[in-house]
Amino acid sequence: MRSTLITDIAELTTVDPEGRVLTDAAVVVEDERIAWIGPAADAPEADDRVSVEGRAVLPGWVDSHTHLVFDGDRSAEFEARMAGESYAAGGIGVTTSATRAASDARLAELVRGRVADAVAGGTTYLETKTGYGLTVEEEARHARLLAGLREEGLVDEVTFLGAHLVPPGRDAEDYLDDVVGPMLAAVREHVGWVDVFCDTGAFDAEQTRRVLAAGVAAGLGVRLHGNQIEQGPGVGVAVEFGAASVDHVNHLSDADVEALAGTWADWDRASATGTPGTVAGCLPACDLSTRAPLAPARRLLDAGIEVSLASNCNPGTSYTTSMNFNVGTAVLQMHLTLAEAVRAATLGGALGLRAQDRVGSLEVGKRADLHVLDAPAAIHLAYRPGMPLTHAVWRAGRRAV
């Protein structure tokens, strides 16, 4: 068992239950786990020593919502949206067509590149979804591809999103017969989660319940896209099914907030113990790209709801893997403190993936996922927005950047 002492840390943001921020700190890593944390002057001996030379260190980002399996380009759609023009060239259908036409090797290469970009920006734990296949054969192909990349350690969580939308020319109920039948059967062994886009223009409450019930019966965890386009049933259905996360949440009623808050009754935020509820997943890069109202993260936190920040990397509405950007935006535009934004992008995402016992904070026994900033303090993520601040990354105890 080889150990590494990472020392000369100017500021160490732990996101542990006490919310400790240590100065002049050090971390000892043994294999892929954290073995010791404390003042640099008290650090034990280790086989190897790495000085970060007065830089800040925080947990690696947990990106709990991405769509990385795609080919094609939708920049014209984005440009039209920014100009306030209507654009009817196909949206998700453009991506679906290009992705279906791509070979396995091509898609794997594209996903590898996006993961590399994410890791280069400090992301160390990553979820991604199917959802651009929308046929039994294509959804199964994408699920197999992602499962293979998960085995390689490139992605950590794989979600089945066959219910992304109804493909053109298909009847909704007929398509859902495929989703809950042969499609789910084909992907089941490759995925850990089921997801549905429950919103205007996608799937209604009853259709969503049908898919989620089938996923639960197949042993999958539940997550949901909801309340992005307008206030609707998404949050209520998520709570009903005990979803780990409901993402987007741009349009919330008082009843939605109350329902989400109720799921956290058995969770002790101060000690990070108990039974976690349904995380409210905020996707600020997507909100900016679509010129939607930013998700009400401040309101959610004040109600006692755990919030996550994620990139929602996808070709249509959020073509970025930059969690640094999302954290900075949360501080600058969403009225979160730096500590709240960092927690949302680390432990919040881990809670939304039910991985909080393994990742999301720097604590002894957890996976050694460390993000070293080229700055003396983490506040530089918002203080110097858009700057390339990631200096080094350890992922599962190995230097990745």
Quote the CA–CA distance of 170 and 295 in Å, as a whole number.
32
Mean of pLDDT over the chain: 97
How confident is the model at residue 273, as a pLDDT? 87
Q: Please, is 270 exposed, middle or buried when counting C-beta atoms within 10 Å of its C-beta (0-12, 13-18, 19+)?
A: exposed
Q: For 222, how many CA atoms within 13 A lie in the half-sphere containing its CB? A: 24
Token look-up 């858009």 returns 386
pLDDT at residue 197 greater than cutoff 70: yes
Residue 212: C-alpha distances to residues 14, 171, 174, 223, 281 (Å): 35, 19, 17, 9, 18
- Annotation: CATH topology of 3-59+362-399: Urease, subunit C; domain 1 (2.30.40)
* In contact, 367 and 359? CB cutoff 8 Å: yes
Q: Which CATH class is domain 61-352?
A: alpha beta
Over residues 58-75, the mean pLDDT reads 98
Give the rounded percent of residues in the chain with a pLDDT score beyond 70: 99
Domain-wise residue ranges, the chain: 3-59+362-399, 61-352
- Predicted confidence at residue 92, as pLDDT, reads 86
pLDDT (mean) for 243-251: 99
CB neighbours of 194 closer than 8 A, spacing ≥ 6? 159, 160, 184, 211, 212, 214, 215, 216, 218, 220, 221, 222, 223
Q: What is the mean pLDDT of residues 138-161?
A: 99
Q: What 3-state DSSP class applies to 30? A: strand
3-59+362-399 and 61-352 in the same fold: no
Q: Directed axis angle between helix 136-151 and helix 104-120, to 10°? A: 50
The encoded tokens of residue 276 equal 């976690």
Mean pLDDT of 154-161: 99
| Residue 296 tokens, joined | 């009400």
pLDDT tens per residue across span 285-315: 999 999 999 999 999 999 999 999 999 999 9
Q: CB-hemisphere CA count at 13 Å for 40?
A: 18
**Which of the residue ranges 43-47, 86-90, 191-195, 198-202 would you say has the lowest mean pLDDT?**
86-90
Question: What pLDDT, on the 0 to 100 scale, is given for residue 69?
Answer: 99
Residue 173, amino acid: E
In tens, the pLDDT along 313-327 reads 999 999 999 999 999
pLDDT of residue 278: 99
The closest alpha carbon to 42, from 30, 59, 20, 27, belongs to 27
Question: Three-class SS of residue 42?
Answer: helix
Tens-place pLDDT, residues 366-385: 999 999 999 999 999 999 99
Question: What pLDDT was estimated at residue 90?
Answer: 60
Q: What angle do CA 228, 232, 233 make, to 5 degrees?
A: 115
Cα separation, 207 vs 211, in Å, equals: 7
pLDDT of residue 271: 84
Q: Supply the pLDDT for residue 269.
A: 83
Here the tokens at position 18 are: 């006490």
Please give the single-letter amino acid code of residue 332: L
What pLDDT is recorded for position 200?
93
| Cβ-contact 245, 222 below 8 angstroms | no
Cα–Cα distance for residue pair 132/74, rounded to 1 Å? 14
pLDDT tens profile 74-112: 999 999 999 998 765 468 888 999 999 999 999 999 999
Neighbours of 20 (CB within 10 A): 15
